[in-house]
A and B are shown apart, each in its own frame.
Chain A
Amino acid sequence: MGVIRAKNIDKFLGGVKILDNVNLNVKQGSIYGLIGPNAAGKTTLIKTLVDIYKPDAGEVLIDKEPISDNKRIKSRLGYVSDFQYLYPTFKVKEIVEFYKGAYLLWNDERYSQLKKLFKLDENKKIKYLSKGMKTQLAILLNLSIMPNVLILDEPTSGLDPVIKKKVLNLIVDEVSTNETTVLISSHNLGELEQICDHIGIIHEGRVLLEESVDNLKSSVRKIQVAFKVEIPEEIKSNEHILKIESVGKIHQIIVRDNLDDVIENIKKYNPILLETIDMSLEEIFIHKMGGEGYVFEDIAL
């Protein structure tokens, strides 16, 4: 249960193709980070996954069933959007009542626990809540419905660092306790790196790759090396080297796929320093995109 699948999704908005044959597969119980530059189609894809937008081609399946107009699936689907479109004239407690009535598996105990964590004033009208408070409310509501699938579109934007940390912990707890499947989009790759086990990269409406974070991290590594003399030409010309950055005699070499071969090759030239450094998701993203032939400067993270 809790699998998200997008099959050959096309979506046009205002005559422009925003999603182009998108395929996406999120396994049960995993936290899938959807990343991509601005206007890549992340929000459109998410809105298509949660049945706000109907795809022009292809279909979205959750738990192997089409999402479109599917009450059963939607009763276990949590969605936190990038902007919270909650009824502005409702008080917090009224919107809670609305969710409670709509979702059969609403959990009062869970709601009470989360309410203490977020410290929301139940008598306040939604229109008087700040952006961050609205996001907290949306997270609180969508975790209280006991979701099988949780789809979050930039859920931490507008949250202060303390609350941000709480939210990320809650998501991890949710997955470990209830085996919830989570798809989360964010521009903050540092955050995603902390919690995601899978990553999907979307650019210009197409999913470029889907991979586990472990595979992704092992596929691109950084080697820090120093030689007494200049870096040998043979090393520079190695086909697995993506990039070399040099500061004085210290060189940082980004290697794709075949790390062991590159290290063996370097060792032949007796380096005075040789160490392997883990790369951040952000660095991998940039280099991976570079490897796919995309221009770094165009990709605003």
Chain B
Amino acid sequence: MCLKILPFNKTLLKKDWKMTKWVAWLVAIVLFFAVTLGVINTYNNYQRTLKETEEHPEHYRKRVVDIDEDREYYEDFDIEEYKISLIDALDDGFKRLSGTEVFLIVFVPIAVATLLFGEEKRRKTFEVLSTMPFTRFEIFFNKVIIAFVNVFVPFLINALIMIVALGFSKGLREFYSTGLVMYWLGTNSFRLFVMLSFSLLFATLTGTSISQAVLTLIFFIFPIGFTLLLGMNMSVWGYGVYVIEEFLDKFGSYTLPAVLDRMEYIPIAYHIICGIIMLIGAKLLFDRNKLERSGETLEFESIETFFKVGVAVCTSLLTGVLFTGFGEGIMYSSGNTYTILGYIIGIALGWLAASYSIKLNRAKG
């Protein structure tokens, strides 16, 4: 019943899938080689090691140095211990993100949202869509569906491969379980959901693919990056940074990068609610997007000043720290003249860069 109310449109779904499906396949392949292949090969690797230890036990003997008794001896390879270490490593692998997974979870939602929104704005194909018999909500809704399919499907495919492998190999069941794979799929789906909602929000705030991708990434790291910048500046002026450390300890898990942490440290309900709010916000902003602003850095003129001030402040904080270091390097003193100079130059540079970016992409009437 609910599905009937929702504005699924096969034509739009097919079109958006065609535009982005390559991302899903590429991510699925990367994930297969980075995660799945290693997991489903665990039993084979274990068997091979087992065989080799039987054929060449001398290669696997462990040299032990007993300092107390001042002697050294060789211990036989403990296959059980090895097995447990493999099980632990897999368990840890399913529960903690690898570098590749972090990369995929951060960048794939940004890329998919950019392809679905920023690229349509840049190429002005949104103009064609808006004259066709689709409502704005239909266009947005079907894009969101395809975005989620794109980011979830690669993880789902790989989870299925790992589960199917369990069915084919009895030995593999000694190392991991369907539950563990589902945990991996579930936790990563949660992370992807939050990250994609955030990316979609920025898709409706920006007018080009480049500004969309860059601003999404900047604001992803912004809460932590800004706090650290603030901390560095406080230490330049002689204030203790414990306030910042305390702040990060208390509130760090409520920032977006925290979703990349282990699940036990993440306030899951809070992030899911934020994700839903961001999705609703994206829908409301998309309704207010004006197509004449497609191709501009920002979709809304009203946030241009905020953007310029934000860039100017962040740049000044950064250049303040850089100039302090530079000043200390050449004058061997910790005077604040260079810091203040850094702030002034940073404000000017940041303001000019933000203004230039807006002016460069200013749409023509």
Contacts and interface: CB of A to CB of B under 8 A. Distances in A.
Contacts of A269: none
Contacts of A71: 133-135
A187 interface: no
B133 A14 contact: no
Nearest to B288: A54
A44 B127 CA distance: 12
What is the interface of chain A mostly: helix, strand, loop, or mixed? loop
B125 interface: yes
Contacts of A75: 133
A18 B365 contact: yes
B331 interface: no
Contact of B10 (A14, A50, A101): A101
Nearest to B290: A54
Interface stretch (A80-88, A189-197, A207-215): A80-88
Given A52-B291, A103-B133, A85 B365 contact: no
Interface in B107-147: 123-125, 127-128, 130-136
Interface in B219-233: none
Interface in B316-365: 362-365
A85 B362 contact: no
Given A13-B292, A18-B365, A52 B133 contact: no
A16 B365 contact: yes
Interface residues of B, number: 25
B308 to A, nearest CB: 17
B365 A74 contact: no
Contacts of A81: 127-128
A50 B127 CA distance: 10
B133 A89 contact: no
Interface string A91-109: 0001001100111100000
Contacts of B127: 47, 52, 81, 85
Size class of the contact patch on chain A: 20 to 34
A50 B131 contact: yes
What is the interface of chain B mostly: helix, strand, loop, or mixed? helix
B135 A79 contact: no
Contacts of B284: none
Contacts of A283: none
B11 interface: yes
Contacts of A111: none
A101 B131 contact: no
A51 B18 CA distance: 26
A142 to B, nearest CB: 9
B131 A102 contact: no
Given A14-B362, A75-B133, A85-B128, A98 B291 contact: no
Q: Which of B123, B127, B363, B365 has the most CB of A within 10 A?
A: B365
Interface string B10-35: 11001100110000000000000000
Nearest to A16: B365
B18 A88 contact: no
A77 interface: yes
B125 A74 contact: no
Contacts of A79: 131
Given A14-B362, A44-B365, A52-B130, A85 B290 contact: no
B131 A85 contact: no
Q: Which of B18, B127, B134, B136 has the most CB of A within 10 A?
A: B127
A106 to B, nearest CB: 11
Contact of A53 (B11, B134, B290): B290
Interface string A50-85: 111110000000000000010110110101010101
Interface of B: 10-11, 14-15, 18-19, 123-125, 127-128, 130-136, 290-292, 362-365
25 contacts: A13-B292, A13-B363, A47-B291, A51-B130, A51-B131, A52-B291, A52-B292, A53-B290, A54-B290, A69-B135, A74-B131, A74-B132, A74-B133, A77-B131, A79-B131, A81-B128, A85-B128, A87-B15, A87-B123, A90-B18, A94-B18, A98-B11, A98-B14, A103-B132, A103-B133
Would you list the 10 A-B pairs with minimal beta carbon distance, nearest first?
A101-B11, A13-B365, A75-B133, A85-B124, A74-B133, A79-B131, A50-B131, A71-B133, A52-B127, A102-B11
